[in-house]
Amino acid sequence: MARLYDSRRRILVTGGAGFIGSHLIDRLLKRGDEILCVDNLFTGSKRNIDHLAKHPRFEFMRHDVTFPLYVEVDEIYNLACPASPVHYQYDPVQTIKTAVHGAINVLGLAKRLKCKVFQASTSEVYGDASVHPQPESYWGNVNPIGPRSCYDEGKRCAETLFFDYHRQHGLWVKVARIFNTFGPRMHPADGRVVSNFIVQALRGEPITIFGDGSQTRSFCYVDDLVSGMLRLMDTGPEVTGPVNIGNPREVTIRRLAELTTQMTGSGSDIIYRDLPQDDPRHRQPDITLAKRLVGWEPTVTLEAGLQQTIDYFKALLPKVSTNSP
């Protein structure tokens, strides 16, 4: 329910100090919204939102979404959850609490306020997919008791909660399944393949590939992803999702390593390590629904996005330790 005393939208972004959340907030502020950024800074960083500290329409609240939140807003984007294996496996119990209890708390808030709520789900709900590329109709192939399950099953349960609130309470929900995203503000030690490769290449360290490098991923630049999220959020109530938001261009991990060394001018060798348990062999979104229902498809090439990300890390690495939050 919109607040009667102000025509400007006040939007809550949980996980707003994270990589994706901070870019989303930049775009929301640019279009004139008022933002409440909520983050417990477990994986998010004040560095990502420092440039907004004095912005008159930006407010930061340090808060853990596993506890209820009592605020007044017009829309909610729920992005709070560790999203890289290094981080979500560090404390798997807290990860699943963040995904599930966080969803319950956000949905309860949206129910009270009668407002629209967005869930940042993930391609990991498809698990080690046996269908390729992955359409939203595919139910997935997920190990419910493996080391990645805290994240995979946590996000699957969150989707269930969103659609049960929609069916039972008539809540206006939007669910996006986000595929591998990269760009500036990635944490240098988050363990994701793009940041790993760039950091290793810039330091002249061996580039580490897990497995034989034939496994594939599809990488979406963060600006494209945010555009897709905004477009989905602005659709009518008949569009609930889930909708895949990602770049359908598929590349092997080996090719990504080669491209990274070329673009950084690095002389790094490539070394191989054992593939982690339950690591997906293929990941590629079918974005037919995104094109038809949301009017969205990515426009930034992998090479252009990598150049922006490399430039960011070149500027960042001399200033911070890779272990700093």
Q: Annotated catalytic sites, by residue?
A: 151
C-alpha 221/C-alpha 305 separation (Å) is 6
Give per-residue burial for 25-59: e unless 16+ CB within 10 Å, then b. bbebbeeebbbbbbbbebbbbebbbeebeeeeebe
Burial zone of 238 (CB within 10 Å; 0-12 exposed, 13-18 middle, 19+ buried): exposed
Four-residue CA torsion sign, 79, 81, 82, 83: negative
Helix (H) or strand (E) holding 271: strand 270-273
Helix (H) or strand (E) holding 244: strand 243-245
Crossing angle of helices 92-113 and 149-169, in 10° steps, is 20
Q: Which residues pair with 174 in a beta bridge?
A: 118
CA–CA distances in Å: residue 173 to residues 176, 207, 228: 10, 41, 15
